[in-house]
Amino acid sequence: MLGPLSAFVLTPFDGDTVDERAFTALVEGTATAGVDSIGALGSTGSYAYLDRAQRSRLARLAVRSAGDVPVLVGIGALSTPEVLAAAEDAQRAGAAALLLAPVSYQPLTDDEVLGLYEDVTAAASVPVCVYDNPRTTGFTFSDALRSRVAHLPGVGSLKLPGVPEDPTAARAWLSGLRAAVPADVTLGVSGDASAVRGLRAGCATWYSVVAGVLPRTCAELTAAVLAGDDERVAAVEARLAPLWPLVAAHGSLRVAAALAEQLGVVPRAGLPRPLRDLPAPGQRAVAGVVAAGVGAGG
């Protein structure tokens, strides 16, 4: 629904305050670096830690700063009324699409998750991207539920958490899922470490955290995959690969924040309490990756 590369930007905090100037500059820089869409207020954008007024304001800033690049805005919250309010605010801000994860406190049933998407798509006037992220929501989608949700009018894309390690298994799974969802619903891969595998196996979009820090590098990688230029893919992947074990150990948000700060992409990429910056050993590991040239492509 949004082109091959969607870059999810950080929301930089300075203490308990959002650094709106840094956020604006980050969105502007990302939008002009060759990405197809911007994801604002995703998990990387710490939406879950912001109140309604902050989210509404950041959605407006993101759309204004992204120029012609469409902006996907995260609207997840624990209660459905809160989700509906965030959807309304994001649409008023000019969001091209809404990103919705089944954020959970009480573990949700399949019917409850389906009901959430029914309520939101009934109210929304732009497409909803189903954000499947078991690590943060605690909720695991079955393929049967993915299919039920994807058939709701108003659903535009499924943002999948990753694809199987084995390329054949990845292709088989995605083609089965592809057949089970309407033709106009795109399948997208997140989990940057499995992006190349996902795009090769048939995903239409890479929903990327690292592209919010290194948009040019990720745009180059995406173009190389789509062009079948395996040599170029391998060269770019080799530059990014040292990040993946750090992401697995510390989570993509903490690593992206440390990376953005060390590369000077933002002056300060503080995280909202109770989250804390990557501890010193992780910071040193990110510094090693930076020294090895991960930022060379921008």
Residues in the site for its own copies, rule: CB under 8 A?
16, 43, 48-51, 78-82, 102-103, 105-109, 111-113, 115-116, 119, 135-136, 138, 251, 253, 272-276, 279
Report angle CA 271, 37, 232 to the nearest 5 degrees. Answer: 95
Minimum CB separation of residue 161 from its own copies in Å reads 14
Do residues 194 and 211 make contact, with C-beta atoms less than 8 angstroms apart?
no
Nearest 5°: CA angle at 251, between 88 and 21?
50
- When the beta carbons of 55 and 216 are compared against its own copies, the nearer one is 55
CA 234, CA 100: separation in Å to the nearest integer?
33
**Cβ-based nearer residue to its own copies, 49 or 173:** 49
In angstroms, give the least distance from the CB of 72 to its own copies: 18
CB of 181 to its own copies, least distance (A): 21
In the complex, least distance from residue 214 CB atom to its own copies, rounded to whole angstroms: 21
CB of 15 or CB of 293, closer to its own copies: 15
Query: With contact defined as beta carbons under 8 Å apart, do 206 and 198 qualify?
Result: yes
Produce one character per residue of 122-133: b if its CB has 16 or more CB atoms within 10 Å, e if not: eebebbbbbbbb
Residue among 205, 196, 206 nearest 228 (CA): 196
Minimum gap (Å) between residue 29 Cβ and its own copies: 24
Nearer to its own copies, 114 or 235 (CB): 114
Closer Cβ to its own copies, 103 or 193, answer by number: 103
